[in-house]
Amino acid sequence: MKIQIPKMPQWEQIGGDMSPGTYGATIARGDGSSIELLKIQPVREYVGDKEAADVGFPFWTREAYYDLDDLDPSHADVQSALDSIGMNMKTLEADFTPTQRAIVIAEALLDYGKADEGPHGWSDDILHEEVKWWGGKVAGPEYLEDEDRAFREEVLEEESFDPEDEDLHRQLLTAFEHEESPKAVSKRLIKLELDRRDEAKLLRYAKGWFEDFWGGTKMPWSQYESFIKAVVDSTRR
């Protein structure tokens, strides 16, 4: 039976789900003599939200690299891997092209366990190049970012910014930079309902924005913290 490793210079999805960030996917690339695979494993899909919180990040991966000899159907491990997915030799030969056979065998071997632990973490920890996903979409780690966001909000229970939050913090930083008075700022931002906001949450987010904005400078956080508190106090009067 002829087996031919395909020439796929770009990563392509060969297995999994149309929603790879939520349910996982297997991607592959080949140069005609060897094939490389990466199986994306969303942590929540495997262990649930409770245990995923202990893990602390949304993705595991498994990776594998095979040459033509590794994919030889006469090898016992190849036969066992194919048996594990319900694929018999007759069907493999009759229904698939030589390059399709290589992909079927490679994916079966990976799932059967002939693979190594790959990178883990967030979407940009596990993907560094663009992938041709099912459906024709070509994208890099941003294609999995919905799961990053959902993991932070639903598993780690971190609140995310909405556009109004972002607008508020950018305006506060700009006002502080231009040394506006807290009273003037509170009047200008009254429509953002500062008086109804949770001050602890507001300050927690403010610190993150402050560090991004003033990172690497000697501007002390304590000054900005006092400014935020003064703005809030002025709003509540």
Find tokens 């607008």 and name the residue: 167
Tell me what percent of the residues of the chain surpass a pLDDT of 90. 56
Return the pLDDT at 193: 65
- The answer to whether 129 touches 11, Cβ cutoff 8 Å, is yes
| pLDDT tens readout for residues 118-175 | 999 999 899 999 999 998 999 999 999 889 888 888 888 765 545 557 777 788 888 8
Q: What is the pTM of this model?
A: 0.69
Could you report the per-residue pLDDT of 173-227, keeping only the tens digit for each?
A: 888 888 888 888 877 776 666 656 666 667 766 776 676 666 555 567 788 888 8
Rounded to whole angstroms, how far apart are CA atoms 67 and 64?
Answer: 10
Q: Which of 113, 71, 111, 112 is nearest to 92 (CA)?
A: 71
Tell me the average pLDDT across 5-22. 96
Q: Which residues, 6+ apart, have CB-to-CB distance to 163 below 8 Å?
A: none
- Of 9, 12, 182, 41, which is closest to residue 118 (Cα–Cα)? 41
CA 151 to each of CA 59, 68, 157, 163, 198: distance values in angstroms, whole numbers, following the listed order: 10, 39, 8, 20, 23
**Among 31-40, 87-96, 203-212, 224-233, whose mean pLDDT is lowest?**
203-212
**How far apart are alpha carbons 125 and 62 in whole angstroms?**
13
Q: Which of 205, 229, 231, 209 is nearest to 219 (CA)?
A: 209
pLDDT of residue 24: 97
More confident residue, 81 or 211: 81
21: nearest Cα among 159, 161, 126, 117: 126
Q: What tokens does 51 get?
A: 């245990």
| Strand 131-132, strand 7-16: pairing | parallel
Distance of alpha carbon 209 from its chain centroid, rounded? 22
